[in-house]
Amino acid sequence: DASSDNSTPGKTASDSTDTGTALLPNTHMASANFTDEFGHSNFLVVYQLKSLAIYMSAYNSSEDAWIVSPVVDGTNGISLDSVRNGTSLALDVYYHNSTWRDVHLYWQSPTNAIKTLFRNDTSTTETLSPKGWTYPFSTDRYTGADGSSIVSYGRQCVYCTLYTYIFFQDDTDDVLGGVLFHANEDGWTDRNFTEITSPAANTSLALAVVPATNSSDRGMIIFYQTGSGVLAQLTYDGDSGYSGQTLSRGLVDKSSVIAFSTGFNDTESDLGFQVLTTDPDADGVLLTYYHDGDWVASDEVAALSSCASRSSMAVNLGRRVYCVVDADHGEVKIVEWVWRGEPSGDTDSFSSYDKVGTVDT
């Protein structure tokens, strides 16, 4: 997920009078992707309804259709009272092999507990039952700040960091993390990131993977807004090493931050990053990119201008961007774009996005 909280603090499903399938206007989103054993592209998007239920739309390129499934809908022993109105959402896909992958979902409760579910039988061609979502470890281990952003990571690819991770802010606004090492039968191991430029309260968090053929060169970067209102990065090696850096991009209070990577950290396919930030005050989405070893604060991305006002965005490594935009009759919808940039080519292409269409929800 990549936007700060705009919800009514503590509001629960019992306060909601709408039990339909309309999107919550202040819904956050999260997205993940994978390529299946047949070479088909698969995209997942999670979001919240007015009923406060969490749903997932899944797309398989072989079917060319979005399949909508409930994830948290008040059944399967998970009450909607455990879902915050306007909760941040995090989603990741953990790669085991071409036919086996896990999907992890995270959200926040009205009492600020970080909730999580996972499933290992995700289909993108048929509707899924909520009963397939479970969790093997004790729940409610972590409590975030009131309305904290949440981001997560699962082993994205063969050349990506192992293990499962979650990141959020605590009530002192520090960025905290949890790592689920395979050898740790007790569950999560805590990670604290205190030696970085202080984040703003309720900053948007965005995560981008750092792939590499050499395991020692792998990791991830978390992007966030500092207390002084600039974009910053937290570079993390996936174990205990990390460093921080501020970037030359100013942000406003309700900026949403999303990011994805291209290339590798140790090959001729040089590592690159695309970071998109909203400016709701100016109705614009701004691009900051990393190319040939340098960070550049670039211009507005005109194709994504309709994403700014709602400031709710998500992206996946498949270069698909999702935005909540205004629809008819006071409702909202989720629209998808695809990045057409060439990572090793002309940087003018970095602002090239084509609208794909509306996501079925």
What CATH number did the domain enclosing 322 receive?
2.120.10.70
Per-residue pLDDT averaged across 54-62, rounded? 98
Q: How confident is the model at residue 6 (pLDDT cuts 50, 70, 90)?
A: very low
Residue 236: what pLDDT? 97
Q: What is residue 269's predicted lDDT score, i.e. its pLDDT?
A: 78
For 328, the 3-state DSSP assignment is helix
**What pLDDT, on the 0 to 100 scale, is given for residue 13?**
46
pLDDT: which is higher, 6 or 78: 78
Residue 294 — pLDDT band, cuts 50, 70, 90? Answer: very high
pLDDT at residue 183 is higher than 90: no
In a domain, 4, yes or no: no
Q: 346: pLDDT confidence band, cut at 50, 70 and 90?
A: confident
Whether residue 54 is contained in a domain is answered as yes
175 lies in some domain? yes
The answer as to whether 291 is a domain residue is yes
User: Got the DSSP string for 117-155?
Assistant: EEES---SSS---GGG-B-SS-S---B-STT--EEEEE-
SS3 (DSSP) at 303: helix
The pLDDT assigned to 16 comes to: 47
Question: Residue 102 has which token pair?
Answer: 């896990």
Asked whether residue 78 is assigned to any structural domain, the reply reads yes
Enclosing domain of residue 246: 13-358
Across 309-337, average pLDDT? 97
Query: In this predicted model, what pLDDT tens digit does every residue of 133-176 receive, in sequence order?
Result: 998 666 678 999 999 999 999 999 999 999 999 999 999 999 99
The answer to whether residue 238 scores a pLDDT higher than 60 is: yes
Task: Judge contact between 261 and 208, C-beta under 8 A.
Answer: yes
The answer as to whether 305 is a domain residue is yes
Q: pLDDT grade, residue 9 (50/70/90)?
A: very low
Structure confidence at residue 136 (pLDDT): 67
Percent of residues, the chain, with pLDDT higher than 90: 83
pLDDT digits (tens, 9 = 90+) for 74-111: 998 899 999 999 999 999 999 999 899 999 999 999 99
Q: Please give the average per-residue pLDDT across 101-126, as a whole number.
A: 95
The DSSP string of 272-293 is EEEEEEEETTTTEEEEEEEETT
Query: Could you give the CA distance from residue 131 to residue 128 in angstroms, rounded to a whole number?
Result: 8
Mean pLDDT value across the chain: 92
Provide the token pair at 173: 């606004």
Please check the confidence at residue 184 and state whether its pLDDT lies above 90.
Answer: no
Instruction: Sheet containing 257-262: give its strands across.
Output: 257-262, 272-279, 284-291, 294-300
What pLDDT shows up at residue 15? 45
How far is the C-alpha of 115 from the C-alpha of 96, rounded, in Å? 23
What is the tally of structural domains in the chain?
Answer: 1
Residue 8 has a pLDDT of 44
pLDDT of residue 17: 47
**In this structure, is residue 66 part of a structural domain?**
yes
Least-confidence region, from 37-51, 131-145, 157-171, 284-298: 131-145
Residue at 6 is within a domain: no
pLDDT band for 38, please (50, 70, 90 cuts).
Answer: very high
Q: What is the pTM of this model?
A: 0.93
SS (H, E, C) 64-96: CEEEEEEEECCCCCCCHHHCCCCCCEEEEEEEE
Q: What is the mean pLDDT of residues 263-280?
A: 91
Q: Is the pLDDT of residue 228 over 80?
A: yes
